[in-house]
Structures are given as structure tokens and as C-alpha cells.
Structure 1
Amino acid sequence: MAGYSKTVSDLETHLGYWLRYVSNQVSHAFALKVQARGVTVAEWVVMRQLYEAPARPSDLAEQLGMTRGAISKLADRLVAKRLITRSAAGGDGRAQMLALESEGRAQVPVLAALADRNDEEFFGDLDATTRQTIESAMREIVRRRGLKAVPLE
């Protein structure tokens, strides 16, 4: 067959395969941990961002590399769970501000501890140099590629 190569690389020869393999396991374990607390990973990310300060949905969308529609849907769910509030900001009332409710503010440190525990479960047995090497390589790829979207899954 013209253009057919007899050499086909194995899945395991690709770094992306191994990154995805580990990432899927880490992400799934964390998702289960936060779901037990009544939130999704995406909701946790929004809550963590709002922990620092209230924000407009458009600013959150830019900070997290998400669409305004996605932020709006997440905000709707978090408002329904009484974890955040949505209020008018500015003089015309069209602009909105999102902020953590007291229950949401109380949950953020608990969820952060789950994230810390999840990291420890998967990476705690690595020595500090190996952990730093992996993190530095990942940060460099993010920087070089100009990646902006926060991982939510």
C-alpha cells in the first residue's frame, strides 16, 4: 500500500500516553474525594478562585481559561448549593459579582486539604528532586505553549 508504514509506534513509547495514564488516575481519585463533599472539580476550582476575593464572572472566565457560559453554569450550580452568592455590581445592575457564602468559605480549606492528600497519595513517595523535575517540566510546557485553561477534569 502506498504511504503505509510498516513501523507503528507502541502506545507506551509516547510520553503523552504516560502523562494521560497518571493524570486520569490522579484526576479521578480527586473527583471522587470532592464529590463526597458535594461538589465537582470544576466547582471546587471556582470556589478556590473566589476564596481570594469576589470576582466578576467575566474575570473568572479569563483567569480560568473558560467561557463565560461555562462560568455562568458553574455559578448557577454553586448558588443553588448556597456556596456562592451572585449580586449586582456597578451602577447599572447588569454587571454581576460572585462571592463565597460562609458555607463555601468554610469548605474551601477542607477541599484544599483533599487536594493536598490526593497529591500526597500519588506523588508523596517521590523524592523532592524528582517531584521538582516533573513540576518544572510541566510548568515549562505550559509556559512555552501559552496554555491558559485550568485543568478541570
Structure 2
Amino acid sequence: MTLVSDLTDHTGFWMRMVSNAVSQEFARKVAAEGVTVAEWSFMRALYDQDPMPPSVLADRMGLTKGAVSKLADRLLTKGLIERTENPRDKRAHRLSLTGDGRVKVPALAALADENDATYFGVLSKSEHDTLNRILRALAERRGLKTTPVD
């Protein structure tokens, strides 16, 4: 008889359980503000930046140009970003937040902060710092650069 490990024997099981809970609650909070988590991530990536070409945004977020294009189209429809011509190359364009988008980003960031505080506030500061350090080390050592948007 082959010994079969239990689900709870796997670190990935515990990571997924916590990740799902944190992510699903945050998704509900941002949905109430009229955006998805992916759209929030996209808007946050534009927030501190000058207008940029979609290809640069795709590189920074670790997404495909197609994924950035789809997100941009949704946010354009919602009036949260704008597309402008590049003055040096009329065939190219750049993306930036609209005034409404600039107002929405800090409100969404506050929801993200609140969500983190709710879920991770049960940990001591030392535990939370250790968790962050371990997760960042795993991401760096595995070369993970894609912004999580799902």
C-alpha cells in the first residue's frame, strides 16, 4: 500500500487557504467600488508614474501586452484611465489615470490596508515581519515577478 500524504501536510495547502480568504474578501471590497483586483493593480501601477506606453506597463507588471490591453480597455470604459498620443511618435500611445482614477487609487489602497490588517492583525509584528520576509524570499528565489491579478 502506498502512503499518501494528507492535504494538510503541504505548505501550499495552507498558503492557498489563507490566500483565497484574503483575496476573496479584498475582491468583494474593491467590487463594491466598481473595479476588479486586476484593475486595482493596474491603476496602482500607474499611480506614481508619468504616462507610459502599455508595453512598459506590461513589463513592470509582468503581464502580456494582451492582458494589459484588455485591462486598459475596461478601465477606459469606466473613465478611470486615459489613452493619449505619444508626442514623439503619433503611432504610439501612453496610459495614465484620469482625475477620477487618481481619486480612486488612495481609497482602494486604504481597502487593501484594511484587508491586510484584518487578516494579518492576528499575528504579532514579529510573526508578520517573518511571514513577509519568507514570502518575499520565495518570490525572489523563484524569480516571480508577475503582479498577482487573479
TM-score bracket, shorter-length normalisation: over 0.9
Count of residue pairs brought into register by the alignment: 149
CA deviation digits over 1:25-64, x for unaligned, max 9? 1000000000000000010011001111122100110111
Match of 1:133, SS state, is helix
Quote the residue 1:87 is aligned against. Answer: 84
**TM-score normalized with structure 2 length:** 0.96
Question: Please, which of 25, 30, 36 is the counterpart of residue 29 of structure 1?
Answer: 25
Quote the residue 2:140 is aligned against. Answer: 143
Q: Is 2:107 the partner of 1:102?
A: no
RMSD after superposition: 0.9
Q: Who wins on radius of gyration, i.e. which is larger?
A: 1
Quote the residue 2:10 is aligned against. Answer: 14
User: In 1, Cα distance between the equivalents of 2:53 and 2:41?
Assistant: 15
Q: Which moved more, 1:50-59 or 1:18-27?
A: 50-59
Question: Please, which of 41, 44, 51 is the counterpart of residue 47 of structure 2?
Answer: 51
Unaligned runs of 5+ in 2: none
Identity, % of aligned positions: 52
Q: Runs ≥4 in structure 1, deviation > 2 angstroms? A: none
User: In 2, Cα distance between the equivalents of 1:118 and 1:132?
Assistant: 17
AA matched with 2:93 = Q
User: In 2, Cα distance between the equivalents of 1:50 and 1:95?
Assistant: 17
